[in-house]
Amino acid sequence: MDTSNKKVGQILQAAETLFYRYGLKKVTVEEICREGRVSKMTFYKHFRNKDDLILKMMRALVKSSSEKYRGIMKKDIPYPEKVKEMIRMKLEYAEKMSSDFIREYLEIANPEILSFMTESTGESLSMLLDDFRKAAEEGWIRKEVKPEFIIYFINHFSDMMKDQKLMGLYKDPAEAIAELINFFFYGIMARDKK
């Protein structure tokens, strides 16, 4: 393994751990370097600044979650089992994240990061729409639920997470995410398909 790749991996892992625990704003480059056991010189050799690190971390996370999702969808199991695995995957991510991380993630203002988020979200939603259409054709999704409505609903998850009145119903964002995901997936599933 290339030593520089190993160092980048250490930095990304340290950043993910600290960001998830304390949020994006509170964590400093110094803390990331200490957690990742690398020097600041090594950090700046690979990243322009903390925002550059956040962008690269998000790219890695999107790639990883897309690969996991694709792996689930390729399995030779009934669609409801795939849905259960997707829910487990989403809940695992949500359980790692502090409320500060989720809130700050939803409030990111950096144009480069926002552009990436918009682009990757569009690609993910297009992939999901194709999969929902296929599931609907196979009878796994209720006939009266349009796949395009499902995508519309997914697009509004972040708006719901920003709604303080809604968030006040839950002890933490992870609990709210879990309920939204369960409500969503089990709400679209056909009841009579075995």
How far is it, in rounded angstroms, from Cα 178 to Cα 185?
Answer: 11
For residue 156, count CB atoms less than 10 angstroms from its CB and return exposed for 0-12, middle for 13-18, buried for 19 or more.
exposed
**Residues 6+ positions from 63 with CB-CB distance below 8 Å:** none
3-class DSSP assignment, residue 189: strand
CATH 1.10.357 fits 57-188, yes or no: yes
Q: Quick one: which of 51, 46, 56, 61 has its CA closest to 24?
A: 51
Domain ranges of the chain: 1-47, 57-188
How far is it, in rounded angstroms, from Cα 3 to Cα 163?
Answer: 44
Distance, first Cα to last Cα, the chain: 47
Between 1.10.10.10, 1.20.120.1200, 3.30.300.30, 1.10.10.60, what CATH number should domain 1-47 receive? 1.10.10.60
Q: What is the pLDDT along the chain (194 residues), one digit of tens a residue?
A: 344 689 999 999 999 999 999 999 999 999 999 999 999 999 999 999 999 999 999 999 999 999 999 999 999 999 888 988 888 888 788 788 888 898 888 888 899 999 999 899 889 989 999 999 999 999 998 888 899 988 888 878 778 887 889 889 998 887 888 888 888 877 888 876 65
